[in-house]
Amino acid sequence: MDTNIRNYMNQNKEELYQTIQELVQIKTIVGNEHEGQNYMKHKYEEIGLEIHEFGPDYEEISKHEAFIDSGIPFSGRKNLIGIYHGKNREKAPSLTLHGHMDVVSPDPIGGWTVDPWGGKIIGNKLYGRGSADMKSGLVANWFALKTLIDLGYPIPGDVQLHCVIEEEAGGGGGALACFEEGYITDGFISTEPHNLNVTISHAGIMYFRVKVKGKTAHAGLAHEGVNAISKMYKVFHALEELNKWRSENITFELYEQGSGQAVHLNLGALHAGDWVSTVPGEAVLECRIGFIPGESRKEIKKLIHDTISQAAAHDEWLTNNPPVIEWFGWSTEPWYQDPHHPFVKTFINTSENILNHQVNIIGRASGNDARFTQYYNKAGLCFGPIGENMHGPDENVDLYSVLEVANVYANFIIDWTENHKM
């Protein structure tokens, strides 16, 4: 642990907090990240980083097996890379500190007690959409490298700061595009808000929708129609039962430590009917299913198809009009990083020295951009500040924890690039 780093950060923490505040005040809902990217570009330029910007090439990136099509056009959207060239870059290992600029919508606004774009600080918490997920992490990455540069540390290896688009929509045009463009280093860290835990695994995730056909009729002659809602309920109930069974029988310790439950089948959206006086002729149910290492996308697809087919088999209408299943959006295999890899072990050692307590290794039932490292045979992990209400009202981040994260990263840059040979 270098006391010069801690002293510098303590003396300049208001700059860190103000930068987070200013970034939170910029509305960067997924698909509209441009203004926030420009803000961080200026920050990267201020500390002398080599700037790279590029827009994803849909035709090329969509060929990758890990690509997820968000349905949001890439036109006018760019990823931002800031590169510090190490003093001994030919021999020293390199490092990526990664974050995403996009945030989810704050709607419904009525649930907030503060302005979601205000960046208001109350006590030691900074409030606003993206404050935790994950603009504070983006800024912590910058502040860690800025600290070393300002203190004149001769960093041996290259350090890349990645500021990407559309993580919230799958990361296809963001992190994956960066890897495919060749922005690959020997180690990768995503500063997601993981409460000062080291995350080395996350669940596989897939989205699917089920369409059930009914028969429309006037409400005054409803007996002549077939209500798609009531038929969908049979499918809904079967999927609810599957979720219950999996939650009780499918276990994975890392996910239980990080998320409390290893797997989830969320029945997230149901749409049916278009007029109150008409028997609904179609119902559409959209779902998200998570799965653990050892389960595959192929197996999960079969499980869902079999469950819905069995539900339909007990209903004459559904037997003759089988539900249609479509897979869309998120489709990722589980990610698992070997905790014994030198990258992870070194990070654990650094973080425990800085935080002065044991750091837990966990997994999460949600997804993040670190999963793309497995396709390039590189080590990756997630580590970030303490946050609350991500994707919900009154999202906030603990500012002291952000300062600690930046301190860990600054020391780790030295520990990783100075003490290892590639």
The residues facing 189 across adjacent strands are: 97, 381
Last residue within a domain, chosen from 306, 331, 356? 331
- 318 Cβ partners below 8 Å, 6+ apart? 212, 231, 234, 235, 311, 312
Residue 39: phi, psi to the nearest 5?
-60, -50
The pTM score is 0.90
Taking only the tens place, the pLDDT of each residue in 83-113 is: 999 998 888 999 999 999 999 999 999 999 9
Statement to judge: residues 239 and 359 lie in one domain: no
Hey, what are 317's tokens? 């209408």
* Per-residue pLDDT at 422: 46
- Domain of 260 in residue numbering reads as 205-331
Average pLDDT over every residue of 349-373 = 94
Statement to judge: residues 101 and 178 lie in one domain: yes
Last residue within a domain, chosen from 279, 300, 331? 331
* Per-residue pLDDT at 89: 86
Taking only the tens place, the pLDDT of each residue in 7-40 is: 999 999 999 999 999 999 999 999 999 999 999 9
* Per-residue pLDDT at 296: 92
Hey, what are 233's tokens? 């309920």
β strands within 105-219, DSSP E: 121-122, 125-127, 159-164, 187-190, 198-202, 204-213
Last residue within a domain, chosen from 298, 331, 364? 331
Residues 353 and 161: their CA atoms lie apart, in Å, by: 24
Q: Any idea what the CATH number is for the domain that residue 11 is in?
A: 3.40.630.10
Of the candidates 134, 162, 106, 18, which has an alpha carbon nearest to the alpha carbon of residue 397?
134
Residue 349: pLDDT above 90? Answer: yes
DSSP 15: H
Hey, what are 115's tokens? 């302005």
pLDDT band at 249 (very low <50, low <70, confident <90, very high): very high
Statement to judge: residues 33 and 58 lie in one domain: yes
CB of 130 closer than 8 Å to CB of 393: no
The residues facing 290 across adjacent strands are: 205
Statement to judge: residues 347 and 312 lie in one domain: no
Average pLDDT over every residue of 108-137 = 97
* Per-residue pLDDT at 55: 97
Q: What proportion of the chain, given as a percentage, has pLDDT over 70?
A: 99
* Per-residue pLDDT at 90: 85
Q: Per-residue DSSP letters for 19-45? A: HHHHHHTS--BTT--HHHHHHHHHHHH
Exposed/middle/buried for 338, CB within 10 Å: 0-12, 13-18, 19+?
A: exposed
Statement to judge: residues 177 and 313 lie in one domain: no
CB atoms inside a 10 Å sphere around CB 158: 20
Statement to judge: residues 42 and 182 lie in one domain: yes
Statement to judge: residues 281 and 371 lie in one domain: no
β strands within 104-241, DSSP E: 121-122, 125-127, 159-164, 187-190, 198-202, 204-213
Statement to judge: residues 65 and 196 lie in one domain: yes
Taking only the tens place, the pLDDT of each residue in 222-248 is: 999 999 999 999 999 999 999 999 999
Statement to judge: residues 69 and 100 lie in one domain: yes
Q: How many domains does the chain have?
A: 2
For residue 239, what are the CA distances in angstroms to 247, 264, 268, 335? 12, 11, 12, 25
Statement to judge: residues 217 and 182 lie in one domain: no
Statement to judge: residues 76 and 155 lie in one domain: yes
Residues 308 and 324: their CA atoms lie apart, in Å, by: 9
Exposed/middle/buried for 421, CB within 10 Å: 0-12, 13-18, 19+?
A: exposed
Q: Any idea what the CATH number is for the domain that residue 233 is in?
A: 3.30.70.360
DSSP 256: H
CB of 253 closer than 8 Å to CB of 292: no
Residues 315 and 302: their CA atoms lie apart, in Å, by: 21
* Per-residue pLDDT at 100: 98
Statement to judge: residues 191 and 214 lie in one domain: no
* Per-residue pLDDT at 421: 54
Residues 280 and 152: their CA atoms lie apart, in Å, by: 69
Taking only the tens place, the pLDDT of each residue in 283-294 is: 999 999 999 999
